[in-house]
Amino acid sequence: MPHVVIKCFKGRTEEVKQKCVDKVAQDVAELMGCDLSSVSVSVKEFDKEEWKPQVWDKEIAPEMDSLYKKPGYTCD
């Protein structure tokens, strides 16, 4: 039962977010070998000034060693 959380800056349309969610869900189901109905995806949006304290400092930086895809930027 894969669950994916997409965190991003605010400002994208509902159509863009839905297309992204649909693509991610399809790819996850295919690659993980599960039914599409088993995949859930959420989108959580942040203001730019919230990114570092809410996402980088709490979730990205502390988990850097376990990230399969590391970001190509820093928040120093």
51-64 pLDDT, tens digit per residue, is 999 999 999 999 99
Q: How far is CA 59 from the centre of its chain?
A: 11
d(CA 61, CA 38): 29
Q: Could you tell me the domains of the chain? A: 3-66 (3.30.429.10)
pLDDT at 31: 98
The mean pLDDT value of the chain amounts to 97
- pTM recorded for the entire structure: 0.92
46 and 7 Cβ atoms separated by less than 8 Å: yes
| DSSP assignments along 6-73, one per residue | EEEES---HHHHHHHHHHHHHHHHHHHT--GGG-EEEEEEE-HHHHIIIIIIIIIGGGGGG-SS--S-
At 76 the pLDDT is 85
Q: Exactly one of 2, 53, 62, 71 is catalytic; name it.
A: 2
Q: What percent of the chain has pLDDT over 90?
A: 99
**Known active-site residue 2:** yes
